[in-house]
Amino acid sequence: MLVAASTECFHQLPLHEAIERFVDLEYSNVEIAIDEAGGQLRPSEVEANFDKAVVLCRDTHRLNVIAYHVRIQATGEEYYRHFRAVCKLAKATKVVTLVVPSSELGTPFNEEVERLRRLVDLATLEGARVGMQTTLGCLTEDPDTAVVLCDNVKGLGLTLDPSHYICGPHARRGFSKLMKYVYHVHLRDSTKDALQVRIGQGEIEYGRLIGQLRKVHYNRALSVHVSEMPDVDHMGELRKMRLLLESLL
């Protein structure tokens, strides 16, 4: 397994500055956010100026890009055009994993299945794969629904974020049934009352999680997703998480 970190940890910084921070923190792998609402790289920009996007995503100071985290705000066919452009970017930069959100609670199941099938088909054409996020407020906040979606969409996997099963309506139910579907992992520390707390003050059992992933022969990234917190040394937290995960691998 590889330890990585997401540029969303420094969402307020331009992409190149976020990457420089991870170099300073001695990370070797990075996950790049491609978010229409963000300020680093947007899906619409990837489509509009593909060559520039490729240059940006290759300029990583030798950090290995292990995934793109894709959030698209467009609708209809424009949505799929933007996703297709990101798939082509993944191929050009030799990135396999594309992280996408699942739809909000209340979305008809069949509608979500059709959307995900189309995303998987587009990704497959470019040699990429789709890891759907497990997220509060979305269809995947229920681990049973996440399993059913994966079973109904051939080739679909999950981006497992255990925090959303520690702090949420399905807390304590367990999510070991998801392990065989995992393509990617997002990590922070959490309690049942707070989605993010300081590293070591929460309930995430990193060693147990890594053991569960090893049982299904998971050999890809553990990507750190730690946001800034008031009166907390953000760089220190990111460094602490890297050292903790590396000590367990």
CA count, 13 A, side-chain hemisphere, 24? 10
Q: Which long-range contacts (CB under 8 A, 24 or more apart) does 227-230 make?
A: 227/8, 227/9, 227/11, 227/188, 227/196, 229/196, 229/198
pLDDT tens digits for range 21-40: 999 999 999 999 999 999 89
Q: Any idea which residue has 């997220």 for tokens?
A: 135
pLDDT at 172: 67
pLDDT tens digits for range 186-195: 999 999 888 8
CATH code reported for the domain at 96-249: 3.20.20.150
Closest CA to 99 of 128, 124, 67, 123: 67
Beta-strand ranges (E) seen in 79-151 are: 97-100, 129-133
Please name the amino acid found at residue 214: R
pTM for the full predicted model: 0.94
CB neighbours of 94 closer than 8 A, spacing ≥ 6? Answer: none
- Please tell me the chain's helix, strand, coil percentages from 3-state DSSP, rounded to the nearest 5: 45, 20, 35
Q: How confident is the model at residue 9 (pLDDT cuts 50, 70, 90)?
A: very high
Please name the amino acid found at residue 110: N
Q: Write down the domain spans for the chain.
A: 8-88, 96-249
pLDDT at 174: 78
| Enclosing H/E stretch for 31 | strand 29-35
Q: Phi-psi bin for 241: left (phi > 0), alpha (psi -120 to 50), beta?
A: alpha
